[in-house]
Amino acid sequence: MRILVTGLGSFWGSKVAQRLESEPGVELVVGVDTQEPVVPLEHTEYVRADSSFSILERIVRATKVDTILHTHLIVDSTKDSERALHEINVIGTMNLLAAAGAAGSTIRKVVLKSATLEYGSSYDDPYFFRETMHRSHGPKTRVERSLLEAASVVGDFAEDNPHVTVTKLDFANVLGDHVSSPLARMLRLPVVPEVFGFDPRLQFVHEDDVIGALAFATLRDVPGVFNVAGDGTMPWSEVCAIVGKRRVPMPPVLTSLAAEPLRLLRLVELPPEVLALLRYGRGVDTTAFAQAGYQYGYTTAGTVDAFARGLRLQTTVGQPEYRYERDVENFFRHSPAVVRDGE
Amino acid sequence: MGSGGFTGAVSPEPIDRPLAPSVAWTDPAVSGGELVPVRRQPPVPDDDGLRRGDVDGWGRSERMRAVARRLYDPIYRRWFRAEWEGLEHIPAEGGALLVGNHGGAIPSDAPVVMHGIETELGRPVYGMADNLFRLVPVVGTLWSRTGGVPAHPDNAYRLLHDEQQLALVFPEGTKGTGKLARDRYQLRRFGRGGFVEIAMRAGVPIVPLAVIGNEEAMPIVYKASRLARLINVPYFPVTANQFVFGPLLGLVMPLPSKFRIRVLPPVYFDAAPNQERYNRSQVMDQAERIRTHIQEALYEMLRNRRSVWFG
């Protein structure tokens, strides 16, 4: 198996590449990104490329990869500008799939990492979205719109290329020791914001399950769209109780205005889709992916508990950081001085 | 999601599919043929001791529900003096859809039925109601903790089919609660028969309930329709209660009418569960039949009622 990973410079891309390169059936892992990997990698090749993936067709042709793992969909709207969101999520996915579907392409599998954010969060939602359901109202934010557009591009690609196994995994809100999702950032604050009078049902997936699920979908054939989330839902008040944080209410009217000072003070940014989530929550049905054979490591409650314990350790000892050393990595991979196994 | 339909997309009814064989992390077929030791199985997820609260997937908390029952018990027993007939028709186990008539500006029938069944039979009842509740701070949360669930077809299906619970619906919806006092006990249209379709799909019976007393607990004498449109609510009532208890207290305080609830024999359907669609005319016929049953039971109960307040 020869795999191309997009978003290698992100936590997800790096971690999943690390997992895949140790798999016996995997011959080659190539990663593209604008940034360098954030974890040490044994033999994954890193190519610096812009996020619109214009050179991708050349890479695919040159390396003869058969699988693309697209982890580079932006779900957290606070990290990039609205324009960048559109460029990366929609145009990037389009270019990527164009390269994958080009004449003579060797690609036989495409796996994408998206989010249950696609379903939105509204008062008239069902309590558990199934993969076949649609969101209750049209998307209001740029990030939701771009994810939905990307999803429709993926759907078209799957229809036009029946010989390619296409899997789209929609992940619920992620918690873990390393992720910087909006909810994880909120829970790391000394006190945690809530919307007064609302206590939404939330569902979480642990970062290990995200990597596990991506690797699972890459190594096995599970075509289709799947929700990936820990079993069960939990109210926000209970999440804060387990993490051991006090809640501070924001007014239920003009909430985005009240959230503005928090952003200006650089405490936490609460974009509209997160404020909607803090009001109405979101739950998804997870039976399909479990029936496809994936075994979860964590339930929703387990995820929150693991996050709380990780947070306690981090507040005591801090977090180690990794810096990519290009010359060192190239030396170990390509220098004739290094004795490699099986040669 | 615009991409639901692509190759081998997940089937809409995954529940009935046989479980796929569990897979080891390094499947020989995937990893190129050589056998390698299977990696450590992921820990079996278990929530024991991790939860701090008891809020279930529907937002219901059994503890909050117990508090609500303790507070509501005097209202149920002394204020409304609720009496049941035919409680044995409610199944002691397995899912069932309870369908009742709806009345009163702020209907007391839902809490009375939920309280009655939970205290008499010891089974939880999930009250399906308009999702507008969820928009209101505090009220929406309390409503959800005490057993309220938005009346979405998929919610009802999951409750009845997957969890085999009792769900209570009022198919008249706000058309039932928003009618004037002179129209009391005249059943409104039973929606579009969606409740019958859900029960068929979930493979559970419908248990019809006829309730009297609910209309007189908070009769509507006038409706300010323009004001209602302005503040975006289904109706804005002036109630008899406001003349008795004053304009503010009268908004929430019911009159002490005598409640009687008759449980009618359950209706079973001759239709295969888990179908995508059901015959429209069959659904409408069944809905109309259930409506007529309840209407006739109401007329009979009203014939036997000597006093609104003493029964």
Q: What local confidence, expressed as pLDDT, does residue B49 receive? A: 80
Rounded Cα distance between A229 and B103, Å, is: 41
Distances (CA, A) of B153 to A192, A343, B273: 34, 62, 15
B1-15: string of b/e by CB count within 10 Å (b at 16+)?
Answer: bbbbebeebbeeebe
pLDDT tens string A166-178:
999 999 999 998 8
Question: Rounded to an integer, what distance in angstroms lies between the CA atom of residue A186 and that of residue B22?
Answer: 36
pLDDT confidence of residue A51: 67
How far apart, in whole angstroms, are the C-alpha atoms of residue B291 and residue A196? 41
**pLDDT over 80 (residue B14):** no
Query: Is A29 exposed, middle or buried, given 0-12, 13-18 or 19+ CB atoms closer than 10 A?
Result: buried
- Whether A57 has its CB under 8 Å from any CB of chain B: the answer is no
**Strand-pair partners of B125:** B166
Average of pLDDT values for B63-70? 95
Which two tokens mark A210?
Answer: 């995200």
pLDDT at residue A224 is higher than 90: yes
The confidence score (pLDDT) of residue A178 equals: 86
Task: Report the greatest alpha carbon distance in chain A.
Answer: 67
* Residue B106: closest CA among B185, B171, B178, B212: B178
Test the B interface: residue of A136, A225, A303 with most B CBs within 10 Å: A225
The count of other CB atoms within 10 Å of the CB of residue A273 is: 21
Instruction: Name the β-bridge partners of B83.
Output: B260
Q: Which residues of A touch B50 (CB under 8 A)?
A: 242, 299, 301-302, 304-305
Question: Are residues B239 and B220 in contact, defined by beta-carbon separation less than 8 angstroms?
Answer: yes
Contact residues, chain A, for B5 at CB < 8 Å: 155, 159
Tell me which chain B residues have a C-beta less than 8 angstroms from the C-beta of A128: 57, 154-155, 158
Which is nearest to B117 in space by CA: B261, B306, B13?
Answer: B261
pLDDT in tens, A13-40: 999 999 999 898 899 999 999 888 888 8
CA distance B201 to chain A (A): 16
The predicted structure's pLDDT at residue A326: 74
Q: Helix, strand, or coil here: B95?
A: coil
Nearest chain A Cα distance for residue B161, angstroms: 14
Which residue of chain A is at minimal alpha-carbon distance from B132? A123
- Nearest chain A residue (CA) to B149: A127
- A249 reaches B (C-beta below 8 A): no
H helices present in chain B, as ranges = 62-74, 109-121, 139-145, 153-157, 174-177, 194-202, 214-217, 225-230, 240-245, 280-303
pLDDT of residue A34: 87
Token look-up 């404020």 returns A275
Interface test with B, best of A127, A164, A299 (most B CBs within 10 A): A127
Residues forming a β-bridge with B84: B261
Name the helix (H) or strand (E) containing A82.
helix A82-86
Minimal CA separation from B12 to chain A, in Å: 6
For A118, name the nearest residue in chain B, comparing CA atoms only.
B1
What are the φ and ψ backbone dihedral angles of B202, each rounded to 5 degrees? -80, -15
How would you classify the pairing of strands B96-100 and B206-212?
A: parallel
Give helix then strand counts, H and E, for chain A: 13, 13
Residue B103 scores a pLDDT above 50: yes
Is residue A254 within 8 angstroms of chain B, CB to CB? no
Say if residue B41's pLDDT is above 70: no
pLDDT of residue B8: 43
Confidence of residue B46 (pLDDT cuts 50, 70, 90): low
Question: In one letter, which amino acid is B237?
Answer: P
Q: Residue B78: count other Cβ atoms within 10 Å of its Cβ.
A: 9
Question: At A304, is the pLDDT very low, low, confident or very high (cuts 50, 70, 90)?
Answer: very high
The β-bridge partners of B237 are B223
Which of the pair, B8 or A123, is modelled with greater confidence? A123
Residue bearing the bigger pLDDT, A27 or A327: A27
The Cα B40–Cα B43 span in angstroms is: 9
Distance CA B191, CA B286 (A): 13
State the pTM of this model.
Answer: 0.86
Identify all chain B residues contacting A195, using CB atoms and an 8 Å cutoff: 137
Helices B280-303 and B194-202 sit at what angle, rounded to 10 degrees?
A: 110
pLDDT at B6: 58
What Rg do the C-alpha atoms of chain B give, in angstroms?
23
Can you give the pLDDT at residue B47? 74
CB contacts, 8 Å: B9 with chain A: 131-132, 223-225
With a cut of 90, say whether residue B251 has pLDDT above it: no
Question: Residue range B101-110: average pLDDT?
Answer: 93
CB proximity under 8 Å: A 131-190 to B: 131-135, 148, 151-152, 154-155, 158-159, 162, 165-166, 168, 170
- A235 to chain B: which residues are within 8 Å by CB? 53, 55, 59
**How confident is the model at residue A183, as a pLDDT?**
93
